[in-house]
Amino acid sequence: MILVTGGAGYIGSHYVLYERERGNEALVLDDLSLGHREAVLDAPLIVADLSNEAVLDAVFRSYPIDAVVHFAALASVPESVAKPHRYYRHHVAHTITLLDAMRRHSIPYLVFSSSCATYGDPQYTPMDERHPQNPINPYGESKRICERMMQSFDEAYGLRYVSLRYFNASGADPEARIGESHDPETHLIPIVLQAANGKRRSVAVYGNDYATPDGTCIRDYVHVNDLAQAHALALDRLRAGGPSATYNVGSGTGHSVQDVIAACREVTGRQIPVEEAPRRAGDPPILVASSAKAEAELGWRPQYADLHTIVETAWRWEENRRF
Ligand code: UFG
C-alpha cells in the first residue's frame, strides 16, 4: 500500500486517482491546510499534520505500507521569498520527520516531489539532471536540502528514493473530476483562465525585458497526469529493485508567458486583458527540461505534451470546478 502525503493537493490528488484507476491502494495523509477534501474523491484520508510523529507511527504500524509518495509541500516561489521560514519548516523539517519515521518502521521506498527550482538560473538549456544546483529562491533551496537528506538516508540506512524534479505542473484531470485550486492562486495558467472567464479583471505579466525572444519568462509546462504517471513508474522501478535516482519531469518544450496567454485565448475564444507588471522576485528567465533520463530509465512518455491540450484540460476544470 502507498502512503501519499499531500494527496489532497493539486498534484497529489491526480496521482492518487491515477493509482486507484489502476486498482492500486493509496492512503492519503493531508492536513487539509491547502488541500481539499473533495480532491481525494473516495480514497481513504487521514487528516493530520506531517509534523505529528505519533500519527506517522500509528499509520506505519496500522497499514501495510511499503512506499511513501511525498507531495505535501507549499508551492509558491514568491511566497517563499517573502516568508522563507514557512518553506524551510514545511519542506525541510517535515521531510526529516517523515524520513525518520520511515527509518523507524523500515519503510523501504520514497518518491519525492522535487523541482526544477533547485537548479536556479540555467547555465545551458534544456537542463538535464547534471546541471549545477544553485537555487535562487527559498522554495528551490528547501527542496534541494530535502534531496540531500534523502541521499544521506540512502547511504546510511538503505532508504531507496526517486526524486522527481518537476517543471511547471499544469492542466487537470481530462474528465474535470479534480483540478488545480490554490488560494491565493499564483500559477500562470489558472490565473489567465480566470481572466478569461471574468473571475479576474486581467493578467499581470511579470517582466517583459528578460533575455528571451518576446521578453517574457519561458517555462516547461508538464501535464499533471503525466507527472502522476512518472511517480507510478518511479515506484515500479524502486519496487523492482532499482537504485535511488533523480529525474527531471518536463515536456522538453519551452513556452513564454505570452505563448501561454495566446494558447488560452485560442482555447477559450475569449478576450483576455493583460497588464504589464514588474519582474517577480525569484523568477529565472528560462526553465526547460531534458527528460531523456526519465524516458530512457522509467519508460516515461508524456501523453499531454502539447500546450493547447494542457490548457484545454485546465479550462474544462476552470469552467466546472467544484472546489
Ligand atoms: N506569471 C505571470 N503572471 C502571473 C503569474 C505568473 O507573468 O500572474 C509568470 C511568472 O513570472 C513565471 C511564469 O508566469 O515567469 C510561470 O509562473 P508560475 O507561478 O505559474 O510558475 P513558476 O515558474 O514560478 O513555477 C515554479 C517552478 C516550479 C515550481 C513552482 C512551485 O518553475 O518548478 O514554481 O509552485 F514547482
Could you tell me if 93 and 49 lie in one domain? Answer: yes
Q: Which residue from 125, 180, 187 has its CB within 8 A of the most atoms of ligand 1, so it is best to mutate?
A: 187
Beta carbon of 79 within 6 Å of any ligand 1 atom: no
Note whether 52 and 196 are same-domain residues. Answer: no
In a domain, 114, yes or no: yes
Predicted confidence band at 225 (pLDDT cuts at 50, 70, 90)? very high
**Residue 206 is a catalytic residue:** no
Residue 317: CB within 6 Å of ligand 1?
Answer: no
Counted domains in the chain? 2
CATH of the domain at 261: 3.90.25.10
User: From the CB of 77, is ligand 1 less than 6 Å away?
Assistant: yes
In this predicted structure, the answer to whether residue 185 has a pLDDT above a threshold of 90 is yes
The rounded Å distance from CA 188 to ligand 1 centre is: 6
- Regarding whether 205 and 163 lie in a shared domain, the answer is no
> For a pLDDT cut of 90, what percent of the chain falls above it?
97
pLDDT confidence band for 281 (50 / 70 / 90): confident
Helix axes 10-21, 224-239, angle to 10 degrees: 60
For residues 166 and 64, state if they share a domain: yes
Between β-strands 109-115 and 67-70, what pairing exists: parallel, antiparallel or unpaired?
A: parallel
In a domain, 30, yes or no: yes
The answer to whether position 237 is within a domain reads yes
Of ligand 1's listed atoms, the one at least distance from the Cα of 75 is 35
Q: Assess whether 157 and 16 both reside in one domain.
A: yes
Distance, CA 76 to ligand 1 centroid (Å)? Answer: 8
Domain-located, residue 297: no
Summarised one tens digit per residue, pLDDT across range 64-93 is 999 999 999 999 888 999 999 999 999 999
Query: 298: exposed, middle or buried (C-beta count within 10 Å: 0-12, 13-18, 19+)?
Result: buried
Average pLDDT of span 155-164: 98
Q: How far is the CA of 233 from the centre of ligand 1 (A)?
A: 26
Give the pLDDT confidence score for residue 282 in this predicted structure: 82
Looking at residue 275, its pLDDT comes to: 98
172 pLDDT above the threshold of 90: yes
Residue identified by cell 527550482 is: 117
Instruction: Give nearest CA residue, ligand 1 atom 16.
Output: 188
CATH of the domain at 10: 3.40.50.720
Residue 314, domain extent:
188-217+253-292+303-320
Q: Domain for residue 181, yes or no?
A: no
pLDDT average, residue stretch 272-276: 98
Here the cell at position 154 is 540512502
HEC secondary structure over the chain: CEEEECCCCHHHHHHHHHHHHCCCCEEEEECCCCCCHHHHCCCCEEECCCCCHHHHHHHHHHCCCCEEEECCCCCCHHHHHHCHHHHHHHHHHHHHHHHHHHHHCCCCEEEEEEEHHHCCCCCCCCECCCCCCCCCCHHHHHHHHHHHHHHHHHHHHCCEEEEEEECEEECCCCCCCCCCCCCCCCCHHHHHHHHHCCCCCCEEEECCCCCCCCCCCEECEEEHHHHHHHHHHHHHHHHCCCCCEEEEECCCCCEEHHHHHHHHHHHHCCCCCEEEECCCCCCCCECCECCHHHHHHHCCCCCCCCHHHHHHHHHHHHHHCCC
Please provide the average confidence, as pLDDT, over all residues in the chain: 97
Give the model's pLDDT for residue 208: 97
Among protein residues, the one with the nearest Cα to ligand 1's atom 34 is 77
Q: Examine the domain organization and report whether 193 and 165 are in the same domain.
A: no
Asked whether 116 lines ligand 1 (CB < 6 A), one says: yes
Mean pLDDT of 182-192: 95
Of ligand 1's listed atoms, the one at least distance from the Cα of 203 is 8
CA of 283 to the centre of ligand 1 (A): 7
Q: Indicate whether 90 and 193 sit together in one domain.
A: no
Closest atom of ligand 1 relative to the 205 alpha carbon? 7
Q: Is residue 298 part of a domain?
A: no
CA of 39 relative to ligand 1 center, distance in Å: 23
Residue 189 CA, closest ligand 1 atom number: 20
Q: Which residue among the candidates 10, 18, 139, 304 is catalytic per the annotation? A: 139
